[in-house]
Amino acid sequence: MDLTTFWFGAIAFLFVGYFVLEGFDFGVGVLMRTMGRDDAERRLLLGTIGPVWDGNEVWLITGTGAMFAAFPHWYASVFSGFYLPMLLILLALIVRGVAIEFRGKRPDHAWRARWDLAILVGSLLPALLWGLVFANIVRGVPLAADHDYAGGLTDLLNPFALLGAATFGAVFVLHGAVFVALKTTGEVRDRANTLASRFGPVAVALLLGFLAWMLIGVRRDPVAAGLGIAAAVAAVAALGANRRRREGWAFAGTAAAIGLTVVALFTALYPAVLPSTTDPAGTLTVANAAASAYPLKVMTVVAGVFLPLVLLYQGWTYWVFRKRLAVTR
């Protein structure tokens, strides 16, 4: 395996970690006002992600940083062509982070209600926009022969990308509901389990439709098809486990469904990193988008030293905060 292929796989791994971990953060943020009937329950829901949400965002920083260093042309084309969605994601994440930190600063109902709304918007908007972005990446966008984005905003709002947005948003909400059921006790746990049972079929139906469209109508790849089928099986299994109140297995199922879907996206995309829908000469691949050999070698050494340490630290964090939480009034 050459270093360009290795770093394409490494970036896929980082985005798998980001969407699996930040996915339930987004889901909890979207559901906080719905499942939390009073301030005590909303504080409980926020407490389920409180120790880990900012650590989960490190996966995004690392993934985009690796994209910038390993595939600078890919990074430039994506972040220029997708400028508005990326800007909105950044602003939403900033608002969400501020809201999580500032919500508890004053014991005022109106104050906390405004920040709760900010958490909802700051969680839902990135979930939808990441689906839009990744659906467009795998589908392809208008690129000129010099790899510059040659389309407009309306080119990004195609039916496949909109389905991708709806799918990511729905699956993250399901993932969040299952996580709440896993991390809480009493009425909140029951409520989360019921919500996951009722909303789960909608999320899974969207996921099946998105995967089928991608693997039949956009990118036909046998390996990606196998991964997509595995993702669908994991999603259905998660619903079954949730109905039996096996929250640990249900969470493993939704996490596997998200992870396998992202891997299927990257597998279907390879060896391209950003296909051109207009001029084939404009397609970016792992070969023509990559940095030179020396920086890739340096990155590989650095990643080999520090990535295991980061994974161990984050795993330790989840282990320390593994216990269920109860409402305190």
Per the domain annotation, does 270 fall within a domain? yes
CATH of the domain at 171: 1.20.1630.10
Per the domain annotation, does 329 fall within a domain? no
N-term to C-term CA, the chain: 56
Per-residue pLDDT of 25-73, as tens digits, reads 999 999 998 898 899 999 999 999 989 998 999 999 999 999 999 999 9
Q: pLDDT value at position 1?
A: 64
Per the domain annotation, does 328 fall within a domain? no
Q: pLDDT value at position 281?
A: 86
* Pure H helices in the chain: 3-35, 39-49, 53-56, 58-70, 72-81, 83-102, 109-139, 153-156, 159-183, 186-212, 222-243, 247-269, 293-320
Q: pLDDT value at position 310?
A: 86
Per the domain annotation, does 62 fall within a domain? yes
Count the Cβ atoms, other than its own, within 10 Å of residue 149: 22
Burial of 323 (0-12, 13-18, 19+ CB in 10 A): exposed
pTM: 0.95
Residue pair 267/219 in contact by the 8 Å Cβ criterion: no
Q: pLDDT value at position 280?
A: 86
Q: pLDDT value at position 329?
A: 67
Counted domains in the chain: 1
- Burial pattern 210-227, b for ≥16 Cβ within 10 A else e, equals bbebbbeebbebeebbeb
Per-residue pLDDT of 224-253, as tens digits, reads 999 999 999 999 999 999 999 999 999 999
Q: pLDDT value at position 175?
A: 97
> What range defines the domain where residue 293 resides?
3-320
* Count of CA atoms in the C-beta half-sphere (13 A) of 27: 31
Q: Could you give the CA distance from residue 136 to residue 289 in angstroms, rounded to a whole number? A: 18
Name the stretches of the chain with pLDDT < 70.
1, 329
